[in-house]
């Protein structure tokens, strides 16, 4: 199964403000520009995200995932504040269990979202590709995409696309992965 992380960061590597705020992303929102998101979504069978990420996206004015199944990784009960167009399922925050669940469903490609979830999949060797969109803003502090690593993780750059808004999107294949927790 292919697992691809797609995420935006500030130029200094933060995925959100310290309070989880994403208001800074609006600096690159352009009418009609989805930065390849719709085309990417056509390639995935389901999404996997952590509870914190879900709590942010569930309140978006429009549900961004269409009819795709969204798995929220959490140990706690999940309360939905709004009806969603496709069932949201809850799975334990264990990448091995998530992979097994979706393999049983016939899935071939998962979209992995959220910093903690991305780090978890990377740590156990289940992240194959990273698509990182760098937003031209410096936050100075926030929640980093990556923390310290127990070992080097080799990546191969496969593509970079720049957009008029200043957003630069790079794709990397993961070549080596540690078998330890991050």
What is the pLDDT tens value at each position of the chain, 182 positions in all?
999 999 999 999 999 999 988 889 888 876 668 899 989 999 999 999 998 888 888 877 777 888 899 999 988 766 665 555 567 888 999 999 999 999 999 999 999 999 999 998 988 889 999 999 999 999 999 999 998 777 788 999 999 999 999 999 999 999 976 554 44
* pTM recorded for the entire structure: 0.89
- Asked whether residue 180 is assigned to any structural domain, the reply reads no
Q: How far is CA 169 from CA 11, 49, 97, 135, 159, in A?
A: 11, 20, 30, 9, 8
CATH number assigned to the domain comprising residue 128:
3.40.430.10
Helix (H) or strand (E) holding 95: helix 95-104
User: C-alpha dihedral over 167, 15, 173, 136, to 10 degrees?
Assistant: 20
- Asked whether residue 85 is assigned to any structural domain, the reply reads yes
- Asked whether residue 179 is assigned to any structural domain, the reply reads no
- Asked whether residue 24 is assigned to any structural domain, the reply reads yes
**Number of separate domains in the chain:** 1
- Asked whether residue 144 is assigned to any structural domain, the reply reads yes
- Residue ranges making up the domain that contains 135: 2-174
Greatest Cα pair distance in the chain: 43
Q: How far apart are the first and last CA of the chain?
A: 22
- Asked whether residue 152 is assigned to any structural domain, the reply reads yes
């Amino acid at each position: 199964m292919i697992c691809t992380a797609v995420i935006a960061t500030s130029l200094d590597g933060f995925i959100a403000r310290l309070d989880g705020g994403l208001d800074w992303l609006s600096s690159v929102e352009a009418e009609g520009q989805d930065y390849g998101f719709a085309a990417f979504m056509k390639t995935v069978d389901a999404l996997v995200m952590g509870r914190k990420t879900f709590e942010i996206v569930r309140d978006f004015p429009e549900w961004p995932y269409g009819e795709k199944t969204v798995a929220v990784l959490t140990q706690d009960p999940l309360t939905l504040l709004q009806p969603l167009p496709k069932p949201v399922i809850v799975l334990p925050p264990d990448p091995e269990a998530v992979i097994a669940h979706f393999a049983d469903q016939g899935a071939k490609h998962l979209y992995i979202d959220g910093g903690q979830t991305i780090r978890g999949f990377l740590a156990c060797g289940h992240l194959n590709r990273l698509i990182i969109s760098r937003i031209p803003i410096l936050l100075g502090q926030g929640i980093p995409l990556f923390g310290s690593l127990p070992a080097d993780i080799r990546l191969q750059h496969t593509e970079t696309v720049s957009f008029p808004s200043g957003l630069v999107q790079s794709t990397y294949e993961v070549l080596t992965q540690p078998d330890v927790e991050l």
